[in-house]
Chain A
Amino acid sequence: MSDTIIQFRNVSKHFGPLKVLDEVDLEIHKGEVVVLVGPSGSGKSTLLRCINGLEQITGGDLIVNGMSVLGGNKIMREIRQEAGMVFQQFNLFPQMTALQNVAFGPQQVRGLSRSEARALAKELLAKVGLAEKANHEPAELSGGQQQRVAIARALAIKPKVMLFDEPTSALDPELKQEVLNVMRNLAAEGMTMVVVTHEMGFAKQVGTRLIFMEHGKIAVDGTPRDVIDNPPNDRMKDFLQHV
């Protein structure tokens, strides 16, 4: 039990009258790589964004690394430092170089000195294979490179969990792999990850758990190999045929 890092307790999320998460119970443990799939609008992004408070839950409770997302602003910022997020659209800060993007967080929220933050940023950029792009601005980088910088930026806060919302969906096929490789290495290091993706190959190879969402509920929860090879229901079978 003590290795639980994220716990959804009967979590609901409404947008006005629209119920997007419907009394979700879910426990994620340290070291798991949870792959989240499901049809468009089923609530995958919302589930992910509730974890780091980009969306506020409207029912139940959600505990991240021992802290409730209902605990107020200060707690929320602490949760965000434990749960790094990578977005589909990268969202790099355009006025900063790759290095500055990565160094910004540790300096601002972890209290590192400028030189410590830069050293850490260099190390992380090397880790994602972009040491030589440190002084380039986002506009000068390919999508795959931008997304790897974004991963380094999230890692720089030293999170315990990484949340990925369709990290390769905006990328050309030939650029997807370089991002997936970085994610694969991260998983191999034991990072806990929650990944919304349509990459079933990645899910099978890297995922330790696969969750299929439907209408704001968890419809299927199993090991990727089992679930993908033997879809437990027709809708999931149907879904897999279309990704």
Chain B
Amino acid sequence: MEVNWLIILDFIPQLLKGAQVTVHITVVGLLGGVILGAIAGLMRAYGNAVINAIAFVYIEVIRGTPIVVQVMFLYFALPVLASIRIDPMTTAILAIVINAGAYIAEIVRGAVLSISKGLTEAGLAIGLPRWKVIVHIVGPLAFRRLIPPLGNQFIVSLKDTSLFIVIGVGELTRTGQEIMAANFRAVEIWTAVAIMYLIMTGVLSLALRMIEKRMRIL
């Protein structure tokens, strides 16, 4: 079969739909992941022994297992264990939330702990309650250090959505797979799919670089 690049044009609408699903999973999943990660990271940085241990176990379990195993567990094992059945799309989003959350927790913890202890003490010493020290002093400083590694994680999570092919979510990779199964145009389809991922990660990188530039790193 000869390579015919023009054939890609026929499949663009279908691929765009897949890309849309990818973006949807990524955006919603990361929104949840950032919230979960911030909570777990703060638990690690500020929690007492018990709270710290809970966050630690969560982070280590997730970082120590592949995301494919995690999504399989959510989709196939959870219904058996807890009679909770969730549809593939929700499973995919949940997997990103839980997975990215663990990595983001470590990022948040690192950023918070990188802020000099002296600044926290200076805040406490003027009579601020600890939460105000976190919100007004440590938080804004840690946030600037958060942006680069957070951006990195966003890109990783976006690409991780391709693994949800295993539970049949119609995201971009799955869409490519389906098209190819019908016409065997491997070179054209996978090139197109790759380019679409590159566009998405490229836009993300660019946006992050702009945010970084606008915020002076202290």
Contacts and interface: CB of A to CB of B under 8 A. Distances in A.
Contacts of A47: none
How many B residues are at the interface, by size bracket? 10 to 19
Contacts of B128: 77, 105, 108-109
B127 A54 contact: no
Interface in A94-110: 94-95, 104-105, 108-109
A95 B141 contact: yes
B137 interface: yes
A91 B218 contact: no
Interface stretch (B47-55, B118-126, B161-169, B192-200): B118-126
A95 B118 contact: no
Given A94-B141, A95-B141, A73 B126 contact: no
B208 to A, nearest CB: 20
A92 B151 CA distance: 29
Contacts, number: 62
A89 B129 contact: no
Contacts of B122: 85, 87, 91-93, 150, 153
A54 B124 contact: yes
B58 to A, nearest CB: 28
Contacts of A93: 119, 122-123, 137
A104 B140 CA distance: 15
Most A Cβ at <10 Å: residue of B122, B132, B137: B122
A197 interface: no
A4 B128 CA distance: 25
B136 interface: yes
Nearest to A88: B118
Contacts of A156: 126
Interface string B196-218: 00000000000000000000001
A78 interface: yes
Nearest to A106: B126
A77 to B, nearest CB: 5
A168 interface: no
A154 interface: yes
Given A89-B118, A95-B140, A77 B125 contact: no
Most B Cβ at <10 Å: residue of A54, A81, A91, A154: A91
Given A94-B141, A94-B218, A95-B141, A109 B126 contact: yes
22 contacts: A53-B124, A54-B125, A77-B129, A80-B126, A81-B126, A81-B127, A87-B121, A87-B122, A87-B125, A89-B116, A91-B116, A91-B121, A94-B141, A94-B218, A95-B140, A95-B141, A105-B127, A109-B127, A150-B122, A154-B126, A156-B126, A157-B126
